[in-house]
């Protein structure tokens, strides 16, 4: 019977028994045939039942279920085919699960909020950024709608239009009770339907836009003032004052003075732009170091003309054991120059300015102190803003560009330093707190390196 399939053996024996019964004893043959047929039916039923249970386990995701034992009445290929199908499905499900985990990791790591809704608008998933921006806490219950997480009529209308008409939309909306300026991008999902909502935090972007707008307005105003004065002086000279020896030099002096103001303003604008560009591009030495005393020596030379112009005095007191600080010497020199020029302008007639430094733990604080009238307490938090000036009556003459202290702040932040200002009993004190540059210990038998950067 080697050529007969196993599942046909019971039927072959039954037919042989029937043939034997017909030739010998009919009732004995018929009984044997019936018994063999019942045995074959039970074997087939048990095999089919075991295969059905095996496939049911695969259907619910149990791809490692035990394969049913091959029975003499069952086709041997059924179990093998089921095992192959289980292995293939297991591989596909594993790949899909790996993809799902990678997608969820990407969603969880996004700064933008993402929410996915079904065709009815019910939430399917939201990432942590969406929860943070929308102020939504807790799990996402089945059937919870987007409007229950973000109660904004414009956003809900955009979601409804995307679901019904397949229209994409962008909506500006306040988040976290107005503390965040948000923007929602709504896009329909083709095929099964639904909608995806991206929630963006545009607070810093809007702040930058406002700052750019204010900057342009301020620059326009600052340029217009000296240009108008220069134009008025030149027009006066053209209209006859040029021939009047009593006033012509005075008008020429005014034109030159405002030209110098214009030159100062443009120079400060270029310096501020260069500093911001260097910070944005990460330029500059990775581990700068300089001596405070050496930076002050250069700054003092640059301030001689300013001191003579206001008939003031400039003194300094620096401890001899000050460590080197983490800042480029040119940057610290510029900070000292800007601080001192600001003090000379605000200190009244014959100003006296004192410059010093002290060790403060792991930092060195460099300060400039004047003996002027001080700054109104309400203005102190704003003195480092661009184009900010105190009352005109407190300055000597027309004042500067309004950018000097802003340049100080940008230079300090680029070196990880802090700046500040405070009123004293008499006068005002401006400071910059710099990190100490720890010098490496000298190796035994080797002289330390005292090179100056």
Task: For residue range 313-349, list pLDDT tens digits in order.
Answer: 999 999 988 899 998 888 899 999 999 988 888 787 8
Alpha-carbon span 89 to 57, nearest angstrom:
12
Burial of 33 (0-12, 13-18, 19+ CB in 10 A): buried
Alpha-carbon span 420 to 315, nearest angstrom:
21
What pLDDT, on a 0 to 100 scale, did the predictor assign at position 5? 55
* Among the ranges given (84-93, 157-166, 282-291, 437-446), the one the predictor scored with the smallest mean pLDDT: 437-446
∠ CA 209-214-219, rounded to 5°: 125
Alpha-carbon span 284 to 357, nearest angstrom:
25
Assign 110 a pLDDT band (cuts: 50, 70, 90): confident
Pairing of strands 195-201, 313-317: unpaired
Evaluate whether 329 touches 292 at the Cβ level (below 8 Å). Answer: no
Q: Six-digit token pair at 354? A: 């004192």
- For residue 231, pLDDT beyond 90: no
* Bigger pLDDT: 94 vs 304: 304
Q: Six-digit token pair at 435? A: 């990190």
DSSP code of residue 17 = H
Evaluate whether 252 touches 237 at the Cβ level (below 8 Å). Answer: yes
User: Strand, helix or coil at 320?
Assistant: coil
What pLDDT, on a 0 to 100 scale, did the predictor assign at position 433? 94
Alpha-carbon span 423 to 402, nearest angstrom:
20
Assign 23 a pLDDT band (cuts: 50, 70, 90): low
3-state helix, strand, coil in the chain (%, to 5): 50, 15, 30
pTM (2 d.p.): 0.54
Could you report the per-residue pLDDT of 238-250, keeping only the tens digit for each?
Answer: 888 877 777 788 8
Q: Which of 367, 325, 317, 364 is nearest to 342 (CA)?
A: 367
Q: Six-digit token pair at 330? A: 């040119």
Burial of 120 (0-12, 13-18, 19+ CB in 10 A): exposed
What pLDDT, on a 0 to 100 scale, did the predictor assign at position 448? 45
What pLDDT, on a 0 to 100 scale, did the predictor assign at position 353? 92
Q: Which residues of 284-312 are buried (b: 16+ CB within 10 A; e: fewer)?
A: eeeebbbbbeebbebbbeebeebbeebeb
Helices (H), 239-291: 248-281
Q: Supply φ then ψ for residue 201, to 5 degrees.
A: -95, 110
- For residue 442, pLDDT beyond 60: no
* Bigger pLDDT: 181 vs 449: 181
Evaluate whether 412 touches 405 at the Cβ level (below 8 Å). Answer: no
Average of per-residue pLDDT across 300-319: 89
* Bigger pLDDT: 175 vs 367: 367
Which one of 19-28, 108-117, 432-441 scores highest in mean pLDDT? 108-117
What pLDDT, on a 0 to 100 scale, did the predictor assign at position 340? 93
Give the residue carrying structure tokens 């003459």. 397
Average of per-residue pLDDT across 275-281: 72
């Amino acid at each position: 019977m080697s050529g007969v399939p196993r599942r046909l053996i019971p039927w072959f024996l039954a037919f042989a028994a029937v043939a034997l019964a017909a030739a010998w004893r009919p009732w004995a043959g018929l009984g044997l045939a019936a018994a063999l047929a019942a045995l074959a039916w039970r074997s087939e039923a048990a095999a089919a039942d075991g295969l059905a249970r095996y496939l049911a386990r695969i259907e619910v995701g149990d791809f490692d279920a035990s394969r049913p034992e091959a029975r003499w009445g069952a086709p041997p290929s059924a179990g093998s085919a089921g095992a192959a199908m289980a292995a293939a499905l297991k591989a596909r499900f594993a790949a899909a699960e790996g993809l799902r985990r990678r997608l969820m990791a990407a969603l969880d790591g996004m700064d933008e909020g993402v929410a996915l809704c079904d065709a009815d608008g019910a939430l399917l998933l939201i990432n942590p950024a969406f929860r943070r921006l929308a102020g939504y806490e807790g799990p996402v219950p089945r059937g919870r709608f987007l409007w229950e997480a973000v109660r904004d009529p414009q956003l809900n209308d955009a979601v409804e239009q995307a679901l019904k008409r397949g229209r994409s939309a962008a909506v500006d909306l306040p988040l976290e009770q107005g503390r965040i300026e948000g923007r929602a991008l709504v896009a329909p999902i083709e095929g099964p339907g639904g909608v995806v909502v991206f929630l963006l935090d545009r607070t810093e972007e809007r702040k930058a836009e406002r700052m750019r707008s204010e900057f342009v307005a301020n620059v326009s105003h600052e340029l217009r003032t000296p240009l108008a004065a220069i134009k008025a002086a030149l027009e006066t000279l053209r209209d006859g004052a040029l021939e009047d020896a009593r006033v012509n030099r005075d008008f020429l002096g005014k034109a030159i003075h405002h030209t110098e103001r214009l030159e100062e303003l443009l120079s400060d604008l270029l310096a501020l732009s260069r500093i911001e560009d260097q910070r944005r591009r990460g330029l500059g030495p990775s581990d700068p170091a300089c001596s405070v005393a050496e930076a002050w020596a250069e700054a003092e030379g640059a301030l001689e003309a300013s001191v003579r112009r206001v008939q003031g005095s400039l003194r300094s007191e620096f401890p001899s054991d000050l460590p080197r600080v983490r800042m480029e010497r040119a940057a610290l020199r510029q900070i000292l120059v800007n601080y001192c020029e600001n003090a000379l302008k605000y200190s009244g007639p014959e100003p006296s300015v004192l410059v010093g430094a002290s060790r403060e733990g792991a930092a060195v604080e460099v300060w400039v102190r004047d003996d002027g009238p001080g700054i109104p307490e309400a203005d102190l938090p704003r003195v480092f803003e661009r184009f900010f000036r105190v009352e005109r009556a407190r300055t000597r003459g027309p004042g500067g560009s309004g950018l000097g202290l802003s340049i100080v702040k940008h230079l300090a932040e680029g070196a990880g330093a802090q700046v500040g200002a405070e009123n004293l009993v008499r006068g005002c004190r401006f400071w910059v707190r710099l990190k100490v540059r720890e010098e490496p210990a000298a190796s035994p038998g080797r002289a330390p390196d005292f090179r100056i950067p």
